């Protein structure tokens, strides 16, 4: 079974968003920006992905490419962009080589909300395995990450150093578990005392809660659930509803990129 993941915000759009914010805060009109090769090395993606991101900025008149000279800032992006806010899947922050890491707060069998237990479809007597982490970006708290697994999967993850990687990468690449993302749920909540302390926000501050449900090849028992609480002042959720801003090509369509 091929791995499939719901990706509401393709890689090239995420990179365009990051570049837009950098241009707004770090560049002036007339400045030369890094080459496609340098950006692909910086973000750890293909030059084609970078080229798509730059094509959108060029279409908007933010940058202009000059043959043999490079790419230059034509004008600053419209609007007010916070250098603090990011979007996309958490696994992408690591993949794009951003300054991100996580601290494991809890790892082991644990009680879970009734809805989580029901969705996991565990065998009688099984206890969910929980891995709870705090994700930081650029040295500041970004998200509280909860993940719930069947115990057979959770125990295999227990010995892995998760500071500079993601659970998704370890599930796919280290454990070789074939999972498919079935759905996402997005909700607006407020920070309780524990969340406020961990994320460094005021009690009652707005948070964005994203729940992601995955199912493995064993349709009955290989359910994995991620519950992430993001600081609303550092993260926003984006869904790409179409491909109208993707550069047109005569070649065959290809699949567009957490974390």
pLDDT in tens, 11-29: 888 788 888 878 887 888 9
The answer to whether 49 touches 15, Cβ cutoff 8 Å, is: yes
Q: Which residue segments constitute the domains of the chain, with CATH numbers given?
A: 11-73 (1.10.10.10), 90-231 (3.40.1410.10)
Q: Which of 70, 90, 91, 92 is nearest to 16 (CA)?
A: 92
Q: Is the pLDDT of residue 250 over 50?
A: no
Tokens of 195: 């969340």
Q: Is the pLDDT of residue 80 over 70?
A: no
pLDDT in tens, 25-66: 788 899 999 999 999 888 888 899 999 989 989 988 998 988
**Distance between CA 255 and CA 46 in Å, rounded?**
13
| CA dihedral (118, 119, 123, 128) positive or negative | negative
Burial tier of 226 (Cβ tally within 10 Å: 0-12, 13-18, 19+): buried
pLDDT in tens, 156-170: 998 899 998 889 889
Chain centroid to CA 213: 15
More confident of the two residues 77 and 213: 213
Tokens of 13: 């759009």
Tokens of 245: 């801003």
**Three-class DSSP labels, 98-161:** CCEEEEEEEEEECCCCHHHHHHHCCCCCCCCEEEEEEEEECCEEEEEEEEEECHHHHHHHCCCC
**pLDDT computed for residue 41 by the predictor:** 87
| Strand arrangement, sheet containing 206-216 | 100-109, 129-137, 140-149, 223-231, 206-216, 179-190
pLDDT in tens, 109-154: 998 888 888 888 887 778 999 999 999 988 899 999 999 999 989 9
Q: Which DSSP symbol is given to 30?
A: T
**Distance between CA 257 and CA 13 in Å, rounded?**
9
């Amino acid at each position: 079974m091929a791995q499939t993941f719901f990706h509401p915000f393709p890689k090239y759009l995420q990179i365009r968003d990051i570049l837009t914010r950098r241009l707004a805060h770090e560049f002036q009109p007339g400045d030369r920006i890094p080459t496609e090769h340098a950006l692909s090395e910086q973000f750890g993606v293909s030059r084609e992905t970078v080229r798509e991101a730059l094509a959108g900025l060029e279409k908007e008149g933010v940058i202009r490419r000059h043959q043999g000279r490079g790419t230059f800032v034509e004008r600053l992006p419209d609007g007010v962009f916070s250098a603090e806010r990011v979007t996309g899947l958490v696994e992408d922050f690591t993949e794009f080589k951003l300054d991100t890491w996580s601290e494991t707060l809890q790892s082991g069998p644990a009680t879970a909300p009734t809805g989580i237990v029901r969705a996991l479809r565990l065998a009688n007597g099984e206890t969910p395995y929980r891995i709870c982490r705090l994700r930081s970006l650029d040295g500041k708290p970004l998200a509280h990450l909860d993940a719930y697994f069947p115990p057979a999967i959770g125990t295999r993850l227990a010995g892995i150093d998760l500071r500079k990687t993601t659970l998704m990468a370890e599930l796919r690449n280290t454990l070789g578990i074939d999972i498919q993302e079935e759905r996402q749920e997005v909700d607006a909540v407020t920070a309780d005392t524990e969340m406020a302390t961990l994320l460094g926000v005021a009690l009652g501050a707005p948070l964005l809660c994203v729940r992601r449900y995955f199912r493995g090849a064993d349709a009955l028992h290989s359910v994995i659930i991620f519950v992430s609480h993001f600081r609303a002042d550092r993260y926003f959720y984006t869904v790409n509803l179409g491909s109208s801003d993707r550069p047109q090509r005569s070649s065959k369509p290809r699949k567009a990129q957490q974390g």
